[in-house]
Structures are given as C-alpha cells and as structure tokens.
Amino acid sequence: MHSTPGDDQHAADCGCPRTADLDGDGIAASSRRTFLHRAGALGAGAAAAGLLTETPAYASTGGAGKGNGGGADDDPYGLTTMVPAPRGTWSPDPENPRFTVVVMPDTQYMFDEDRIHPVPMEASFRYVLDPAGRAGGPDENIVFLAHLGDVTNNGLAEEYAAATKVFDLLDRAGAAYGVLAGNHDVSGTDQRGSTPYLDTFGPARARRTPGYHSSSPDGYNTAHVFTGGGRKWMLLSLDWRLSEQGFAWANAVIADNPTLPVIVTTHEIVGADEDGAASLSAYGQQLWDGLIKDNDQIFLTLNGHYWPPGSTVLKNSAGNDVQLHITNYQDRYYGGAGMIRSYRFDLNRGMVDIATFSPWIRELVEKDEANALAAQELELTSKVDYFSMEIDFDQRFAGFAPVPARKARPARRMLLPGTLAYWRFDDGGAAGSDVAADTVIKDQTGKGNDLVLRSAPGTPAHSLSWTADHHPDQPAHAGLVFAGQGNPVSGSYLQTVDQAPINGETFAHGYTFEAFFKVPSDWDGGRNGWSAMLSRAGSAGQAGKNGPTATAEEPILTLSLSSSIELQWNVYPLNQNGATTAWSHLLQQEQWWHVAVVNDGRISKLYVNGCEEGRNPTSTAVGLTALGMPFLLGGYQWAGAINQVFHGTIGDVRITGRALTPGQFMNA
C-alpha cells in the first residue's frame, strides 16, 4: 500500500451502481457470508444486495477440505467447503525459450476484516492455471507466480482464512508460486516470530510447491528455483523488512547458487512519480547496498507497496544493469481487480515483454457483465504498464554464468558422405597478417579442389588478411578478411586451381553450398553491393543460355549480397534456358551469418542460420551449368572479367554433392 508501515487505512467503496454482485459466485463467497454471519454483520439488507446467491460453482456441502494442513477444527470460519481441484495439472514447458513469470501485487483490499472479495484473485489464478484458455497467447507457458505482499489488510487470522482457500487453487494444481509479507501482513523485521501470515504461508506450505529451494530460519524469506528456456532461475521472496540475519541468509543463498540469474521480489524497494520514473526508497537503499548492488546475479527486482507503477535501471558494482520495477494497482477500481503483470521472457529475441491486465474483468467482458468502471480496467497500456526490456541474456549473465564457447571441430568431422570441397582458414598466417601471394588453401577433402590467390589489377596491400574472428558455431575458428570493392574494382580473392575436379561438376543429383560470413560496418551499397562470396567463372552467354531470364554477361553461378545486403543465389540450371534466383531477407552488418543453398535434384531452397527463407523458387531446377572453369571465393566476373571483389569476412565453405538437412549443416 502507498503508506508508511502500520498504516491501517482501508479502501472506500466506489459507490458505483451495478446490477449484480460481481464476486458472489467465487470459492470464498460462501465463506465470506459465513464470516459475516459469525460477526453478526449480515442482515436483510445484505441479502437484498445479492450476497446470498446460490451455492458457488466451486463449493460443496460435502466433507471438509484440508486447506493449509488443518481439518474442520482449524476452520472456524467455514472455509473448507471447496471441492478439491484436480491435482498435478501444472505443467509448463521448461525448455521453451518463451516463458512467463506472473506477478500479483497488493491484494489487501480483497481481504479486509468483513470486506472479503476474493473473486478477482480467483480469476487471476484460474488464468495462471488454465493453459487451454491461454493456448497460442503470449502467456501460454507460465512457469511461476510471485505475490508481492500485503496479501491482507490487517494481518488477521480470519483474513488469511479466506485468502488461503484461494491459494489452495495453486496448491491443488501443483503450481510454482511465492508469497511474501508486506507491511499490512506483519510489523517489525523478519525476526518478529509467529504471526497469522507465517502460520498460513510459512515454510511448511512453501516446501510443498514445485521449485521450492529453502527458507530462512525465521521462515519469512524463501528461495525458489524454476526452469525456463532450458536454464534454471532463482526467485527470492523476501520479507517486508530484512533483519541482519535476513540479509545474511539472502546473500548466502545467492552465493551457494553462483550460476543462477536471480529475481528479487519484496514489498518495498522503489517508488515512482506520476511519469513512472522510479527511485529507491530509504529501505530500498538498504536493500541495494546490502544485497543487490554487489550480487551481479540479481538482474531484476519487483515490488509493490507504493503507487503509481514505474521503473528505473541502476548499475551494479560489476557495471551491469539492474531493472527495478514497482507494480501496484490497489488504488484502482475494485481494489485493483486482481490485476496481474506478465513478464514474458523470450530468450531467442533477447526481450522481456511486460503486460498488465485483469483476468477477472476479461471474464466479465466476455459475459457482457462488466460495468463502466470495470471495462476501463481490462488492460493497462500506459508506458509504465505495457512495455519491453531488451536484455542480451548471455552477455548480462556472462560474469557469473558464461556460455562456453563452442570448441573448434576437426576437418574430418565435417566431411560428410558426398562432400566435394571443404575450405577452412585455420592453418594460415597470424591473425591480422596478409595472405601471401603464393598461398594455397588446401581442399580438406583431399580431392584436389585447392584455392590459390588472385588479385584485381592495381590492388593495394592488405587486401586479404587472416583473422581469428569466426561464427560461434563455425567448425574452424578462423576466417579471411576481404577488403575488396567495385566501381572501380580492387581487391584479392581466391579461385580453384585449373585442374580442380569440382570445376566440371554439374550437380545433377542435388547439392548443398554452405558458407559463414560477416558484413562490416563500413559496407557501402554502391561500392560493395552485388559482390559474390562464391561464384563460378564463365558467363551465361558462353553457356548458350538465352532465355527471357538470362543475362549474357553475368556468371553462371553466384552467391552474392545485394546493395541492401540481401543474399541472392542466382544460377543457371541444366534444365532451364535462363536463371533461377532465391533471396534472403535483409541482413545486418557486424553479425555473423551462415547461409546454405540446398537442391534435392528438383527444388532449390536458401537457408539463413538454418532457417528456410520465404523467397525460394518453386520451379524445377536440375543441376548447375558448368563450363569447366574455376570457382571464385570472394570474386565476381562480368563478361568474363573480374569487376567486383567481396568486402567482409568469410569463414568455412563447404560444397556437398547432395541435399543436406539443416541438422547436417556446419552450424548445427
């Protein structure tokens, strides 16, 4: 709550007319009525308002449930009438690179003495537990739910008696979740001893949840570990006020798990102004100094307590970003309407997409039962409620969980059956040195398709050099840097020797051409566009190709980059009188790429990083026209003369006389 510790202000009724009791049919609705009867607070007026409805859909007059481990004698408020939900239905995909952590802030106004309104929270939990209802949506793989404290308004046992029945939904489904105490749940530090909060959400309950790791000796702080995207993550549910012992425990549990990224959840760290700019509170500064700044594993903190919502980014002692977010909606209609925030991790994109919405109001809207105020709270889309964070996870976590570099693989492992030529550059000169004029790059197959150096007239020094730079999945950890250009032409390139067997190869039964490459930041479309990484000497005119798609002067085979850095595979098949072309999307500079062109004897497909592109031809293309002339690596001829030399880095190149699957590519 937006208050000082111990504040006991309650939410005021909004006074908004409605046609029905919005939460009259929930799990705790009959429990609420029982509570009111016992308190002597329910009379004819309440019945007329619609509180006394039919038996809730989730209730039963059968035997008592167990709740928080107790029987009927432990349940004086009549809260043990719920039919148990099916157990074990919680089954997120731990390997999926897209997963969601759901956050629920202050729910205190739903559990406030005789004002018990749990249905919004029930709807949020149903949303978390219902993969069928979320199928195909951004939250289809929820791996954890974190409550940010102030579960109740006064920390009373009867308030927890209502709240615990809603959390039983998570328990019965076997869901992974964490709860922590806010200032309306407890007072003092985590050394306060027994409280109704601890009786309800202590270690005995927590250890039954999936991913439970440990609790502090006092029971008020809990560590959880969940799996998302194939890696383990730790989430700490920390008390409203850590004691010296609490700080020691939290630091120790992080130190004992030194490779896990950590999310810290607690009730108070930052507050925000009306523009969403957040800053540390006085206690938040203590957390920053005593826990967060020196633990590089902590990359995200989440808290409630204050409003409005907001965020900030601070640099820790390692110089890395820590995202600090506040999310709290108790000041809004219906005490926040069970609002939840989804943190949608996408490890492939390096993004966390954040959305804020009320599943309960969604249900009301679907049933056409939402009043005017509720309809406005369906989803919050301001810049502080709906936004994205870009995080290079490998880089951010490199200080404590570095991704091991893939080791170089020997050439013999790359010689699949049908390999006709394989060139790699890890047996040359020192990185940064020039490739000597008499250099011969051996064909690793031993078939004699060796490469020799050639240069355009007037080429200056340092036009071709060795480098240790390489694609992270490249077999050889080396490459060649081409400093070529056109307009005017300049640079050095390689070509197969005159007697190389591959010069006459027609690939009539299929083929796979592969290469690793990187385009530098100084690429210029006018000077470097339409240069070939790989081409074949001899023009379409020389080959007698004169169909509508033929250009007499162009080579009979090119794997080129357009002026806007699109890959183009332009070749003259044996069965066509013109050219057939495949294209990629636009590629980025200063990034390593793998390209493969595959033909199964009929259809050609271009792949980038193992992914099939969309601009592939559907016409039948059999084999490749050959004139018995060399292949050029980094060179491109027009009308039989060199007129463009590649500008960029080329890594391993492999040519196979059959169609390979992506799982057989060099980057696989």
* Whole-number Å distance between alpha carbons of 97 and 228: 7
pLDDT, position 504: 98
**Cβ contact 665:594 at 8 Å:** yes
Buried b (16+ CB within 10 A) or exposed e, 593-625: bbbbbbbeeebbbbbebeeebeebbeeebbbbb
**Cβ contact 340:103 at 8 Å:** yes
* CA nearest to 100, candidates 134, 147, 146, 139: 139
What the block records as the tokens of 177 is 């979740």
* Whole-number Å distance between alpha carbons of 578 and 574: 10
DSSP 619-657: S---S----S--EEESEEEETTEEEEE-EEEEEEEEEES
In 385-522, where does DSSP find H-type helix? Answer: 393-396
**Cβ contact 318:354 at 8 Å:** no
What the block records as the tokens of 70 is 């107790």
pLDDT at 587 over 60: yes
Q: What's the chain's average pLDDT?
A: 88
Provide the 8-state DSSP code for 393.
H
Phi/psi of residue 74, each to 5°? -90, 5
pLDDT, position 8: 36
DSSP 77-135: TS---BPPPPTT-----TT-SEEEEEEE---GGGEETTEE--HHHHHHHHHHH-HHHHT
* Whole-number Å distance between alpha carbons of 323 and 326: 10
Q: What is the pLDDT of residues 219-228, one digit of tens each?
A: 999 999 999 9
Phi/psi of residue 56, each to 5°? -60, 150
At residue 392's C-alpha, the angle toward residues 390 and 396, to 5°, is 115
Say which range, 127-131, 168-172, 526-530, 536-540, has the weakest mean pLDDT: 127-131
pLDDT, position 531: 95
pLDDT, position 457: 94
Q: How far is CA 380 from CA 108, 366, 376, 608, 619, in A?
A: 20, 17, 9, 38, 50
* CA nearest to 441, candidates 656, 569, 632: 632
* Whole-number Å distance between alpha carbons of 345 and 626: 50
pLDDT band at 88 (very low <50, low <70, confident <90, very high): low
pLDDT band at 608 (very low <50, low <70, confident <90, very high): very high
Q: What is the pLDDT of residues 246-285, one digit of tens each?
A: 999 999 999 999 999 999 999 999 999 999 999 999 999 9
Q: What is the pLDDT of residues 632-656, one digit of tens each?
A: 999 999 999 999 999 999 999 999 9
pLDDT, position 137: 82
* CA nearest to 28, candidates 61, 6, 5, 56: 56
Q: What pTM value is reported for the model?
A: 0.80
pLDDT at 662 over 90: yes
**Cβ contact 616:634 at 8 Å:** no
* Whole-number Å distance between alpha carbons of 486 and 495: 18
CA dihedral sign, ordered 275, 277, 280, 284: positive
pLDDT band at 89 (very low <50, low <70, confident <90, very high): confident
Beta strands in 210-294 (DSSP E): 212-215, 222-228, 231-237, 262-266, 270-272, 278-280
Q: What is the pLDDT of residues 379-411, one digit of tens each?
A: 999 999 999 999 999 999 999 999 999 999 999
pLDDT at 2 over 80: no
Provide the 8-state DSSP code for 198.
H
3-state SS assignment for residue 244: helix
Query: What pairs with residue 567 in β-bridges?
Result: 561
CA dihedral sign, ordered 70, 31, 125, 306: negative
**Cβ contact 166:79 at 8 Å:** no
pLDDT at 23 over 70: no
pLDDT, position 133: 77
Say which range, 21-25, 291-295, 329-333, has the weakest mean pLDDT: 21-25
Provide mean pLDDT across the span 496-514.
98
What the block records as the tokens of 589 is 């500079």
Provide mean pLDDT across the span 312-316.
98
pLDDT band at 4 (very low <50, low <70, confident <90, very high): very low
pLDDT, position 132: 77
pLDDT, position 18: 33
pLDDT at 550 over 90: yes
pLDDT, position 69: 32
* Whole-number Å distance between alpha carbons of 278 and 384: 10
pLDDT, position 196: 98
**Cβ contact 328:111 at 8 Å:** no
Torsion of CA 284, 285, 287, 290, to 10 degrees: -170
